[in-house]
Amino acid sequence: MEKKIRTIAALNSHNVSVNLDEVILRNGKRGERIKIIHPEAAAVIPFLSEDEILMVRQYRYALERQTLEIPAGKVDPGETAEECAARELMEETGYKAEKLDLVCTYAPAIGYSSELIHVYSAKILQQAGQGFDQREISSVEKMRLSEVWEMVKKGEIVDGKTLLSLSMLKIVGEP
Amino acid sequence: MEKKIRTIAALNSHNVSVNLDEVILRNGKRGERIKIIHPEAAAVIPFLSEDEILMVRQYRYALERQTLEIPAGKVDPGETAEECAARELMEETGYKAEKLDLVCTYAPAIGYSSELIHVYSAKILQQAGQGFDQREISSVEKMRLSEVWEMVKKGEIVDGKTLLSLSMLKIVGEP
């Protein structure tokens, strides 16, 4: 247990805040903790068929590079994680899922963030026709799973939620 | 590509800074991005034998709960990621590894953090005798891999680096 003494400083941007807190550590001494208060999020592995998925290419400001990843985003107020997964899939790829199954829920950065990501797999996709959100996404790509795993083995996919989602689905199996 | 216009506000704590930046988005409009400038980190799956690993129980301030996870920490200046993995293993468990192998490198929170985690598997552990860092770790636990996977399937392990490391090692295989 670590108990907060005070918030030293804070930043806020839309629905995310970052606090720098002074805390009492396990040994009774004082220390500092950065805490990002982040909404829950959802990620989705969109299957076009048993061996083909959709991925999105996106510039990531914090990494200063483009990444290839599965669609994901923050859960809006009043929305369930499953609704968020369906909405993000539609916004980022233009595809609609007929069935979403929860794969797992995890905390991506427990050292400094409260974020929890709910991972879904999506089946029987249909193109809904309105394209994708060009404000964030550079391109939507159809990828064979064998091709994705080759990229993973070469270290060409670095996004944690994509690696975790694909490998957990493979191991834990589908519902 | 998203170009920084200015830093609106910033927080600093030891070797981590958090900036709130105003940026130009892909569509030419202005937006805000939170960017955590984080040192590289290392995580290690410590094998006592083929089917037994060490895990640590730790209170995580950002999640407001205890978690069961593999040892990990930030790379110190002048240290390699492999040296960091060996040091964190020693500090958090009191065990020394004879051999470390890189499993993968990934970005845990690409939406807001520059952090990259290098994941290692460690073999042939020997207890070095000085115990573990009680400032951060509540307990060190010997766990059978089958028991760990049961906990994963029940959603009892939420730490992303632990889930990603174990599942990636299982899939990508050992070197």
Query: How do residues B142-154 score in pLDDT, each as one tens digit?
Result: 999 999 999 999 9
Out of B9, B158, B167, name the one closest to residue A105 (CB). Answer: B158
Residues of chain A positioned with their CB less than 8 A from the CB of B174: none
Chain B CA closest to residue A57: B1
Contact A59 B26 (CB under 8 A): yes
What pLDDT score was predicted for residue A126? 87
Q: Are B30 and B74 contained in the same domain?
A: no
Which residue segment(s) compose the domain that A21 sits in? 3-37
Q: Are A81 and A28 contained in the same domain?
A: no
Q: What ipTM goes with this model?
A: 0.95
Q: Are A11 and A52 contained in the same domain?
A: no
Q: Are A46 and A79 contained in the same domain?
A: yes
Q: Do B100 and B121 touch, CB atoms closer than 8 A?
A: yes
Structurally, how many domains does chain A consist of? 2
Top residue of B4, B26, B102, B112 to mutate, by most chain A CBs within 10 Å, is: B112
Q: Are B166 and B143 contained in the same domain?
A: yes
Q: What is the DSSP letter of B28?
A: S
**Which tens digit of pLDDT belongs to each residue from B69-89?**
999 999 999 999 999 999 999
Q: Are B78 and B15 contained in the same domain?
A: no
Q: Are A68 and A150 contained in the same domain?
A: yes
In tens digits, what is the pLDDT along chain A, a chain of 175 residues? 899 999 999 999 999 999 999 999 988 999 999 999 999 999 999 999 999 999 999 999 999 999 999 999 999 999 999 999 999 999 999 999 989 999 999 999 999 999 999 999 999 788 886 778 877 888 999 999 999 999 999 999 999 999 999 999 998 875 4
Distance, CA of B111 to CA of B146 (rounded, Å): 33
Chain A CA closest to residue B26: A135
- Buried b or exposed e, range A73-93, using 16+ CB within 10 angstroms: bbbeeebebbebbbbbbbbbb
Q: Are A59 and A133 contained in the same domain?
A: yes
What pLDDT score was predicted for residue A175? 44
Q: Are B116 and B158 contained in the same domain?
A: yes
Distance, CA of A109 to CA of B20 (rounded, Å): 18
Q: Do B106 and B164 touch, CB atoms closer than 8 A?
A: yes
Secondary structure class of B48 (helix, strand, coil): strand
Q: Are B99 and B143 contained in the same domain?
A: yes
Q: Are B70 and B15 contained in the same domain?
A: no
pTM: 0.96
Q: Are B8 and B52 contained in the same domain?
A: no
Residues of chain A positioned with their CB less than 8 A from the CB of B116: 158
Number of CB pairs, chain A paired with chain B, less than 8 A apart: 190
